[in-house]
Amino acid sequence: MAIALEKKQARWLRNKRAERARAKPAERPLSFAFIRRVLAERKARFSSAVVGSNWWKENTYLTVEQRERAVYLVLDVWAATVLIEARWGKGAVRTTHICKQLIRKGRTHGYTEGSLRKMVSKARERIAVLETCGEYLWSEEQCWVAFDFDSGAEMSG
């Protein structure tokens, strides 16, 4: 009886490992030129993010320092999202992955690990507002156009 149970457990473990190996997407290497382009685009989006911060729906008043910190966090979350999408694919971006990358790079902007997850979620909502502000303001143009990944040859290095 115990032998049959051990065999079942071993088979289950083998199948589970195989399932996890199939589910994991292949990591694509990113070139330094692509990473530099994403960071340059992050800097270029700063001015429109400051203007767009007026459209964020806030229930409380933000001081100048808080708004500036929120804008920089939004920019860093956007850059992390683009890099994760380029490396792992479109559906791989999770708030936890973004938090880990920001912590690893030292870009938490003074937020603790506990509050960073909530702030990253807010930042992702704000990014959606900036990328689709035409819908909110009844205009044709967007604050931020979608990032052009160009060619896959540039991403891999």
DSSP letters, 4-17, are HHHHHHHHHHHHHH
Tens of pLDDT, residues 54-108: 666 665 566 778 888 888 999 999 999 999 999 888 777 899 999 999 999 999 9
Average pLDDT, stretch 136-157?
59
Give the pLDDT score at 152: 42
Backbone angles phi, psi at 139, to 5 degrees: -125, 165
Report pTM.
Answer: 0.74
CA atoms of 44 and 41, how far apart (whole Å): 5
Per DSSP, the three-state class of 20 is helix
Tell me the per-residue pLDDT of 105-134, one tens digit each, with 9 for 90 and over. Answer: 999 998 998 899 999 999 998 888 788 765
- What pLDDT is recorded for position 81? 94
Rounded (10°) angle between helices 95-105 and 64-88: 110
What pLDDT is attached to residue 102? 95
- 152, 31 Cβ separation under 8 angstroms: no
Task: Name the residue with higher pLDDT: 25 or 109.
Answer: 109
